[in-house]
Amino acid sequence: MNREDFPLIAQEKWAYLDNAATTQKPRRVLEKLEQVYLTCNANVHRSPHGLGREMTRQMENARDIAARFFGAGEEYQVVFTSGTTGGINLTASCYLETFGTQGGRVIVMESEHHSNFVPWQQLCRRKGLDFQVIPVTENGQPDLDRFREMLTPQTVMVALAHVTNTFGVENPVEEVVRLAHSQGVPVLVDGAQAAAHKPVNVSALDCDFYCVSAHKLYGPTGIGALVAKRSWLEKMVPYQFGGEMVDRVTREDTIFQPPPYRFEAGTPNFVGAVGFGEALEYLEDLGGMEAVAREEENLLDYLWEELSHVPGVEFPLNAKPRAGIVSFLMPPFHPYDVAVLLDQQGVAVRSGTHCAQPLLDSMGLSQGTVRVSLGLYNNAQDVDRLCAGLRRIAAIKL
């Protein structure tokens, strides 16, 4: 993959290995954002003038690009959101407002990012629903036997990550969807990490809701997508209210627009949406996520092998990750200290609990881990630089 496409990466100042937090942006995405502001910046879905029509066309084209990229068939619609967190909160609030009767049950996995844990936990508490957490097995995947026990006729929603953000474990989404649908229960999938590393086809997964963030897919911040089945969206009441999500307002009542617009109150991030579409087309032009996945899988193998030979590096999870994320420890050094010492050597990684405290607490890792996460512009030299830095740390006498 062409590192020269990414201005920050092309400077070669950093081995940037914190892509699970956010990715760098290719030049064509940056240029597209500038072009929009310079040539057709106007509000969408409102104004009859040429600028407004062109901006609306570009935003709706980005919606079509997202639908194509994520394999959304006719039964799905794309709602623009502020990101994965926004999409999950939208779904949790709107769905439970509509279908969350007292005594119902919501099931999440222990390995979830807080964004796919806390919204369900808090809304269940407010609405009198039963909140159940499925533990993970030693390979980091959900305990499906426990899941089958918890999946009762009272269950109203199941939520899980496609790929976990802490260890890069790919969850058995297809099997969870099959089991949930056998009981008539919808499934929300947090796709924030999976979408950046592998092809995603929501129609093939048959999930009901799939949430992603543009900034993890080489696009701008503040924009994302909820790809959801039309049949659910048509039944759900909105939880944010404002302009352009309404069809008719009287003193007595309001008639809402059909989906997806009823869930996009106010002025949307239309420039971000266009930038998102440009990022997805950039990935398609590279050969699609199949090509990205092939490159990353080879580099992930190299990363795993090289880390295994660094003195003092320990892997809390025995299972090899399936996506471009590796977490490790380096006792007696605190994960934060490892990250800071690597930063001083021009290597950017993440340390901490990675917004997954229930999982790490259950593993006795309350101090967190060091996390390395790959992007399409990373190469073997980045891995070598990381491992050289870790060897220098290992040589420090405490």
Mean pLDDT of 250-267: 96
Sign (positive or negative) of CA dihedral 11, 294, 196, 269: positive
- Give the CB-side neighbour count of residue 153, counting CA atoms within 13 A: 0
pLDDT at res. 119: 98
**The CATH number of domain 28-285, selected from 3.40.50.720, 3.40.640.10, 3.30.450.20, 3.40.50.150:** 3.40.640.10
**Residue 397 confidence (pLDDT) above 90:** no
**Residue 211 confidence (pLDDT) above 90:** yes
Topology of the domain covering 3-22+289-395: Aspartate Aminotransferase, domain 1 (3.90.1150)
Mean pLDDT of 149-171: 97
pLDDT at res. 322: 76
Catalytic residue among 40, 94, 211, 355: 355
Mean pLDDT of 238-264: 95
pLDDT at res. 116: 99
Token pair recorded at residue 270: 């239309």
Q: What angle do CA 198, 196, 307 make, to 5 degrees?
A: 85
pLDDT at res. 319: 74
User: How far is 366 from 357, CA to CA, in rounded Å?
Assistant: 7
Mean pLDDT of 326-355: 98
% the chain with pLDDT above 90:
94
pLDDT level of residue 317 (50, 70, 90 thresholds):
confident
Rama region for 169: left / alpha / beta (φ>0; ψ in -120 to 50; rest): beta
**Residue 328 confidence (pLDDT) above 70:** yes
Whether 207 is catalytic is: no
- Three-state DSSP string of 101-112: CCCCEEEEECCC
User: How far is 344 from 311, CA to CA, in rounded Å?
Assistant: 20
**Residue 150 confidence (pLDDT) above 80:** yes
Mean pLDDT of 66-84: 98
Token pair recorded at residue 79: 């709602």
pLDDT at res. 2: 85
Q: Count of CB atoms within 10 A of residue 340's CB?
A: 11
pLDDT at res. 248: 96
**Residue 78 confidence (pLDDT) above 90:** yes
Q: Are residues 103 and 128 in contact, defined by beta-carbon separation less than 8 angstroms?
A: yes
pLDDT level of residue 379 (50, 70, 90 thresholds):
very high
pLDDT level of residue 1 (50, 70, 90 thresholds):
low
pLDDT at res. 62: 99
DSSP string, 22-82: -----HHHHHHHHHHHHH----SSS--SHHHHHHHHHHHHHHHHHHHHTT--TTEEEEEES
**Residue 46 confidence (pLDDT) above 90:** no
Q: Calculate the average pLDDT of the chain.
A: 96
CA 167 to chain CA centroid, Å, is 14
DSSP string, 350-397: EEE-TT-HHHHHHTT-TT-EEEEE--TT--HHHHHHHHHHHHHHHT--
Show me where the domains of the chain are located. Answer: 3-22+289-395, 28-285
User: How far is 370 from 315, CA to CA, in rounded Å?
Assistant: 10
CA 69 to chain CA centroid, Å, is 15
User: How far is 103 from 77, CA to CA, in rounded Å?
Assistant: 30
Question: Of 113, 94, 102, 109, which Cα lies nearest the Cα of 20?
Answer: 113
pLDDT at res. 334: 98
Question: Lowest mean pLDDT: which of 119-128, 316-325, 349-358?
Answer: 316-325
Mean pLDDT of 363-386: 97
**Residue 90 confidence (pLDDT) above 90:** yes
Mean pLDDT of 42-47: 91
